[in-house]
Structure 1
């Protein structure tokens, strides 16, 4: 069992993220702005052309890898980590990734790394938060130009762990996963289906952008809910976009047949997502751009 007890500083820390509040931690590092968040028209045109040239083949390649990277019942071997503990950890990682200005891709990849490791290795409860930030660090090294430093991540854990503990766990995770980290994510499929939508005749770019933003927020919520680990990322992405179109009452919704999933499977996933949204409306509103949140007055109900 992986445990952090042997190297922790001075006993039990007073504050933790999951199960506690990161608000009691030392002052966080200043929030950093992500590079390239504003996409110029020329860059958009280049992305669209790249999608036309390679999008379908890249989609088929990534979709073919889903089953290989999707862990089955990640908590089945965990005597100390529960679904509730996982929910608290991922719910904490969501604002952490936003604090650092990281991409949705980095968050999705971090949760995938977390779940795949949990599926292979029992983890002690006192090591679980350390595992979360380690997974986030590994994911950021994969997809971010400027990943957060070890010092910054440890500060958000109230310095409850040492640099050496994080480095040791990073090595353990990488070896357990055989350095196989390029998992297909919900984020990738959200982007793909959104580009497919823009290619359709009569596409409404405004509706597509709003649906993409709302679907991304819904997908973030689903990452924390253990019940959604049974759904493939491509199914979650298509269902999130379908639900977003339904909630925003769009006139030109995404044709969900592009996902290749049967209608009943899409409907089941969308119904579960809608229940999740109905239970977490206020949390979802905090994940959305203000202009999209204003179009969702029901989030405050």
Structure 2
């Protein structure tokens, strides 16, 4: 008799560990060590001479597209961006090497978070073969050395579940908040996000963010993302503790975040969304034959070569 393996989902993930999720010591330890993994400085001012903020946005958008197309775990992209920012904060880098650096950072992050990590050959294909596998492997050692092999960085994703479990909301609404908060985290890294409401299909926005979000602690980005998601989805159900300043105070206490800083972070996320929505509508009016998705097509991998001059 022939044996057949018909597993539908071989990449099934483990369930959250209650011993970690419901122990406040875990959250406390994350808050204690998170600043170790922030860039040491605003590197565009004091380290990088050849790389500009718009170049970082281009490469970050490309990295997000690769992660989305390869269906990487949600933690891979923010972790790769953490590596990229930490490396750029200590090593002056030529702009022609920026896409190579982005590919190396995805390579390392996927090794840490994926069951089947991205291969060097596949990443080179996404650069339109502008880099070679051997070059990527050589740079992998360079990046590891500059990061001192400290790859288990704290990212905003690490805080999401700890924040959500403390919210007095039913499980179905927490699922919505989680999805939106994870999307906001990608927004803070690259300026691209996907927004979905309860009534309509996905709409894709383009957002041009500056470098300021890279200097925010992961806990603040996570808390601000959850707050923005709750406000955007209007899930307070009349509960005054989950609206306006009361919501900000409630979230700030969870992660011991300064209320004013948290409010500024959340307002920055929300204002960028509003501005971008206005831009998308203007683009739709000027190009009525194109869909929102076509208007928002991010730079293709080969477009990143524009900065390799």
Q: TM-score, normalised by structure 1?
A: 0.75
- Within the candidate set 166, 173, 196, 1:207 is matched to 173
Within a 5 Å distance, the mapping from 1:75-224 to structure 2 comes to 75=44, 76-197=46-167, 200=168, 203-224=169-190
Once residues 133 and 281 of structure 1 are traced to their aligned partners in structure 2, the CA distance between those partners, rounded to angstroms, is: 30
Please state whether the residue corresponding to 2:130 is helix, strand or coil: coil
Q: Which residue of 2 aligns with 1:51?
A: 21
Note if contact 1:106-1:143 (Cα within 8 Å) is conserved in structure 2.
yes
Structure 1 stretch 66-75 or stretch 170-179: which is displaced more?
A: 66-75
Contact conserved, 2:220 with 2:257, CA < 8 A, in 1? yes
Q: 2:228·2:270 contact (CA, 8 Å) conserved in 1?
A: yes
Query: What's the offset of the Cα at 1:204?
Result: 1.3
Question: Which of 32, 36, 39 is 2:12 aligned to?
Answer: 36
Contact 1:189 1:234 in 2 (8 A): yes
- Could you tell me whether the CA contact under 8 Å between 1:222 and 1:276 is conserved in 2? no
Match of 2:28 in 1: 60
After TM superposition, give the deviation of residue 134 of structure 1 in Å: 0.3
Say if 1:138 and 1:171 are closer, same or farther in 2 by CA, change over 3 A. same
SS at match of 1:104: coil
For residues 85 and 145 of structure 2, the distance between their equivalents in structure 1, rounded to whole angstroms, comes to 15
Aligned length: 241
1:278 to 269, 274, 288: 274
The alignment partner of 1:64 has SS state of helix
Asked whether the equivalents of residues 31 and 255 of structure 2 are also in contact (C-alpha less than 8 Å), the reply is no
Give the direction of change, closer, same or farther, for the CA distance of 1:62–1:268 in structure 2 (3 Å limit): same
Q: Is the CA contact 1:106–1:136 (under 8 Å) kept in the aligned structure 2?
A: yes
- Counterparts in 2 of 1:261 and 1:195: CA distance versus 1, 3 Å: same
Contact 1:112 1:183 in 2 (8 A): yes
What is the CA-CA distance between 1:230 and the residue it aligns to? Answer: 2.1
State the 1:159 CA deviation. Answer: 0.5
Counterpart secondary structure, 1:86: helix
CA distance in 1, matches of 2:174, 2:276: 23
Unaligned 5+ segments in structure 1 are 1-32, 285-299
1:74 aligned to 2:43? Answer: yes
CA separation in 1, counterparts of 2:266 and 2:157? 17
Deviation at 1:262, TM superposition (A): 2.6
Following TM superposition, by how much is the alpha carbon of 1:49 offset from its aligned partner in structure 2, in angstroms?
5.3
What TM-score results when the alignment is normalised by the length of structure 2?
0.73
Using the TM superposition, give the Cα deviation of residue 74 of structure 1 relative to its aligned residue in structure 2, in angstroms: 3.0
- RMSD (CA atoms): 2.3
Per the alignment, residue 250 of structure 1 pairs with 235
1:34/1:102 contact within 8 Å kept: no
SS in 1 for 2:12: coil
- d(CA) in 1 for partners of 2:90 and 2:65? 27
Give the distance between the partners of 2:260 and 2:272, measured in 1 at CA.
18
- Structure 2's unaligned 5+ residue stretches are 1-8, 191-208, 281-295, 297-309
